[in-house]
């Protein structure tokens, strides 16, 4: 499918009524058609993996095209410079988390970028760093605990950032790491307790919210069951 044809397809699926709802959830963009996620996934499946088309679509300046680009790009062909270029063009938490969870996390540079972006000043770029940490904790099944535990000091360091997109992603990363297994749960709770003592409204919220979930009976029971199943294998 050609670039111009894809743009026409996206425009034909436009849903202006959805834009207001998206805005209420903080998803705003310079230009967006309001195409639903299921329709984007169906179109992505029809197109298949296409790196060159993804590059063109991402540069179209349309939110829906950026989301589609992330869905059809081939992570094996993504470069460091492409990731840097794309992350600077993201406009909200929606396209940020989409890129991190369907594309960036599958590249060989995911861990490096998570660390690098966590230090950036730009709100969406910094969020991308912690969004990557959160999705890697879920998607990278082969990662040893030590690899994910390296994120915990970074989470603590940046817990004082009061900006909404950042603090919610920091919280998300802490929770996802802590729900991976019992060992990481203990480590995440320990860091959460340290964060709670920091004199920062953001840090206190991040810690209290994460600790509530990580210490919950539901999470503890699931982690215990997970360990029991692993021992049976």
Q: What token pair was written down for 16?
A: 């202006």
**Full 3-state SS string of 181-231:** CHHHHHHHHHHHHHHHCCCCHHHHHHHHHHHHHHCCHHHHHHHHHHHHHHH
Domain around 121: 103-233
Please report, for the chain, how many H helices and E strands are present, in that order: 15, 0
Residue 54, class by beta-carbon neighbours within 10 Å (0-12 exposed, 13-18 middle, 19+ buried)? Answer: buried
Does residue 227 lie within any of the structural domains?
A: yes
| Residue bearing tokens 């802490």 | 174
pLDDT recorded at residue 51: 98
68 and 107 housed in the same domain: no
pLDDT recorded at residue 20: 87
Q: What token pair was written down for 124?
A: 């969406």
Q: Mean pLDDT in each 10-residue stretch from start to end of the chain (233 residues)?
A: 96 92 90 96 98 98 98 98 98 97 98 99 99 98 98 99 98 99 98 98 98 98 88 76
CATH number, residue 180: 1.25.40
Does residue 160 lie within any of the structural domains?
A: yes
Q: What token pair was written down for 146?
A: 């030590």
27 and 116 housed in the same domain: no
| Domain-ending residue, one of 23, 53, 74 | 74
56 and 171 housed in the same domain: no
Does residue 136 lie within any of the structural domains?
A: yes
In this structure, the number of other CB atoms found within 10 A of the CB of residue 24 comes to: 9
pLDDT recorded at residue 168: 98
Sign of the alpha-carbon torsion through 199, 147, 189, 105: positive
Can you tell me the distance from the alpha carbon of 5 to that of 17, in angstroms, rounded to the nearest whole number? 24
Can you tell me the distance from the alpha carbon of 116 to that of 192, in angstroms, rounded to the nearest whole number? 22
| Domain-ending residue, one of 74, 91, 116 | 74
65 and 119 housed in the same domain: no
């Amino acid at each position: 499918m050609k670039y111009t044809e894809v743009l026409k397809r996206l425009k034909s699926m436009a849903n202006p009524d959805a834009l207001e709802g998206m805005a209420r959830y903080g998803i705003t963009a310079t230009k967006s058609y309001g195409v639903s996620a299921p329709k984007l996934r169906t179109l992505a499946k029809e197109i298949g993996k296409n790196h060159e088309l993804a590059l063109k679509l991402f540069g179209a300046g349309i939110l829906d095209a950026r989301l589609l680009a992330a869905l059809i790009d081939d992570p094996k062909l993504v470069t460091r410079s492409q990731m840097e270029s794309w992350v600077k063009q993201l406009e909200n938490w929606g396209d940020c988390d989409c890129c991190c969870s369907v594309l960036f996390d599958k590249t060989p540079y995911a861990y490096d970028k998570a660390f690098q972006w966590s230090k950036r000043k730009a709100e969406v770029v910094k969020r991308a760093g912690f969004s990557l940490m959160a999705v890697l904790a879920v998607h990278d099944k082969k990662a040893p605990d030590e690899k994910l535990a390296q994120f915990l000091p970074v989470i603590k360091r940046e817990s004082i950032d009061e900006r909404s997109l950042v603090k919610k992603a920091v919280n998300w990363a802490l929770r996802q790491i802590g729900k991976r297994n019992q060992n990481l749960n203990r480590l995440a709770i320990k860091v959460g307790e340290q964060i709670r003592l920091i004199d920062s409204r953001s840090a206190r919220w991040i810690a209290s919210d994460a600790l509530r979930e990580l210490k919950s009976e539901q999470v503890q029971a699931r982690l215990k069951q997970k360990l029991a199943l692993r021992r049976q294998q």
